[in-house]
Amino acid sequence: LINNVRQDRTPFFLTAEHCLGGEETWVFMFNYESPTCQNIDGPTWMTVSGSTLLANYSGSDFALLMLDESPPDSYYVYYAGWSNINIASQSSTGIHHPSGDIKKISFDYDSVTSANYLTTSGTTHWRIGSWNDGTTEPGSSGSPLFDQNHHIVGQLHGGYASCTSITSDWYGKFSLSWTGGGSPSTRLRDWLDPYNSGATILDGYDPFETVAISHLPLTDTRDTANDYEVICTIMSSVPLVSDSLLLYYQISSVWNTELLTATGINKQYHAFIPAQSAGTTIDYYLFAKDSANTADTTPVYSFNVLYTPQISVTPMSIAHTLPVDDSTTDYLIIENIGEGFLDYTINIERVMAVNPFYDSLAEADLLAPATRVYPDGFDEDYIDVKGLEDYRVGFTVDKNAGGPDLYGYYWIDSDESGGPVFNWADITATGIDITAGLDDDNFTGPYDIGFDFPFYDSVYTQFYVGSNGLIGFDTTTLKSRTKVSIPTSSPPNAFLAWLWDDLDITNLNNPGGAVYMQSDGQKCIVQFVNYPEYNGSAGDVINAEVIIESDGTITYQYNSIAAGFDAASCAVGIENQDGTDGLEVAYLTTYLKNNLAIRFDRPAQWLSLSKFSGSVWTDLSDTVICTISAAGLDTGLYYSNIVISNNDPDPADTLWPVSVMLTVTDIPPFICGDVNNDEAVNILDVTYLITYLYKGGPAPIPPESADVNNSGNINLLDVTYLITYLYKSGPDPTCP
């Protein structure tokens, strides 16, 4: 059982996701332990039946259940505390039931290490190198790992430890489970902290302890004006001694005492620590005693009164006009006019990248939306049963191009004028066979792309092949056969879905399926040869390929799709790293066909920065170089925002935007009035213009430089205007 911030004895039960199955009828047995130090069987009558699954997440292999009924008081249950901070424990304790045995306790006196486990990507688990006292066995799965402060930091996923092999174990991180997949059904946060208090550590709760103090520690503050309220709950089965309910706090090595008084809320007490100046560290703890002369003392907590930085950024906006293929630089000055360190990070938001070709498609109503809105429960309520056809039907694909998504990607197929030309690249004779290891519902890799591949806000050098029609850059649930609409925040994310469905290269009716790859340093091709679907009949295969290029362009090509291959129940598209953005080309609809090519065009990256984070002390500043390039851009307007996130406590300044506008023109740069293009305006320009107008001389370079009165015509009036400017203090030239 695990405690929650309300400490209301809700019977939440933590275990491992891979233990799930039939939990609605599970029987939960409490106090199944030896009554003495000898290893003899314990009581088996303290049970509760039935539970409901609240949340689970494969990345950290956790599951949270709620028992259908609370354990009776006669069981004297304890609600374990936890820490959601991603910090390695200095020592560890595991409490578990190896092979279904009575309770056993194992100890590791070394620090855990951060690691992945099996197919997980990144540091998703805590690794026990080897147990110093005791060990685990099969059957210990799901049991909690406690840190040196008696807080749960993970639950057992698996490993190689046993009574005959004192080796490694891996526990899914509680800190990862806290945020999980980003939704209530995939994370712990919503259940264990329903008030969204921001708690990072919670002590265990024993409702049968004679006196017990529960308290959420104070966090760092910038408040130097108001006293700091310390609130706690004091539980006791007998009356409390009112003058023995105390708050102790230390400032500048001096300890002080305040009496805890009732707030009027049941069992809640509080006291105040006087406001302090910035830079002060405050230590404190709580003490309570009851009439039975039993007492409880909390650990010593600490918090800091922080300095208050204040951000100032110049300029407020940036605008440049550049000819095609030209570039320029500008400078952002980020200054701290407050106290302490101003910490900042920078994100570039590309609000709009004008693309004349796709704009023309949009004006002609030839662009499909980037994503679709499906009815409530369309994905969530669907239960994927392996081997059964998906009965759902998505939106019809009635256009041959679509987008843009939030980032600026578009897609276009070979049926649209101006789209890609289907040009099959067969690499079966020249590519590398990467079929080995692919199985039903799995993934393989990583494989080297051969160049830096930009995809949304990341750059990748390797990819993985998901057996169910995905190429991914993150392995979390990449093996999934259960396609969903694109984008969706739950994993998998960061993928290319060329045909996301339940496919099976091991299909016995279609032997000989294969996957090849080839890279020339600029283009990487992944080809799927005679690739079958799960339970597909003989001959029901697809031949397709994914082509990614160093400039970020992505192309899917479909050479042949057998008539019996179900290509209408898949998802086709791309999705970013956290599932908040993407392009859905087709979902659960008839669209794919022979000799079809789909190209995904990445938006122009015309703005780059010299740095994306920094820390600035009082009265100092950082300079960020902004490079703006029109290389490869069409003429037109390009807009973006530079957003500076920072720790200035003023909500109005926490996200500081700087707008950026680029105008790309095909008119070369010139000085107005510099008709002969020698970078000076003088009498030579007057004679050059007269020669052009009346003696057949060469044209001005460019012509706009001679229209000094901005009339739209070049004539004698421009000659007199230029003479007046040069010799009679007339107005400055004003060209188009």
Known catalytic residues?
18, 61, 141
**Torsion angle in degrees (nearest 10) through CA of 550, 554, 558, 564:** 130
Kindly calculate the radius of gyration of the chain based on its CA atoms and give it in whole angstroms: 34
Distance between CA 588 and CA 394 in Å, rounded? Answer: 5
Residue 325: exposure state from Cβ atoms within 10 A (0-12, 13-18, ≥19):
exposed
Amino acid at position 498, single letter:
W
Distance between CA 18 and CA 143 in Å, rounded? Answer: 12
Sign of CA dihedral 257, 263, 268, 274: negative
Here the tokens at position 417 are 């004028």
Q: How far is CA 104 from CA 41, 98, 108, in A?
A: 12, 7, 14
Buried b (16+ CB within 10 A) or exposed e, 437-467: ebebbbbbbbbebbbebbbbeeebeebbbbb
Beta bridge partner(s), residue 281: 304
DSSP string, 553-579: -EEEEEEEE-TTS--SS-EEEEE-TTS
Return the number of other C-beta atoms located less than 10 Å from residue 422's C-beta: 17
Distance between CA 448 and CA 445 in Å, rounded? Answer: 9
Here the tokens at position 236 are 């006791």
Q: Are 585 and 496 in contact (CB under 8 A)?
A: no
Q: How far is CA 86 from CA 4, 126, 216, 477, in A?
A: 19, 10, 18, 22
Map residue 37 onto helix, strand or coil.
Answer: coil
Map residue 613 onto helix, strand or coil.
Answer: strand
Whose CA is closest to 451, among 552, 554, 527?
Answer: 552
Here the tokens at position 514 are 């294969």
Here the tokens at position 41 are 């069987």
Distance between CA 348 and CA 610 in Å, rounded? Answer: 12
Residue 604: exposure state from Cβ atoms within 10 A (0-12, 13-18, ≥19):
buried
Catalogue the E-assigned strands of 58-115.
62-67, 81-83, 92-96, 104-108, 113-115
Q: Give backbone dihedrals phi and psi of 626, rounded to 5 degrees, phi first.
A: -105, 115
Distance of CA 94 to the CA centre of its chain: 31
Q: How far is CA 108 from CA 89, 126, 145, 154, 614, in A?
A: 10, 12, 10, 14, 39
Q: Are 406 and 476 in contact (CB under 8 A)?
A: no
Distance of CA 220 to the CA centre of its chain: 26
Length of the chain: 736
- Name every residue whose Cβ is closer than 8 Å to that of residue 147 and which is 6 or more positions away in sequence: 83, 89, 90, 91, 92, 153
Helix and strand tally (H, E) in the chain? 5, 46
Angle at 71 between CA 69 and CA 75, to 5 degrees: 165
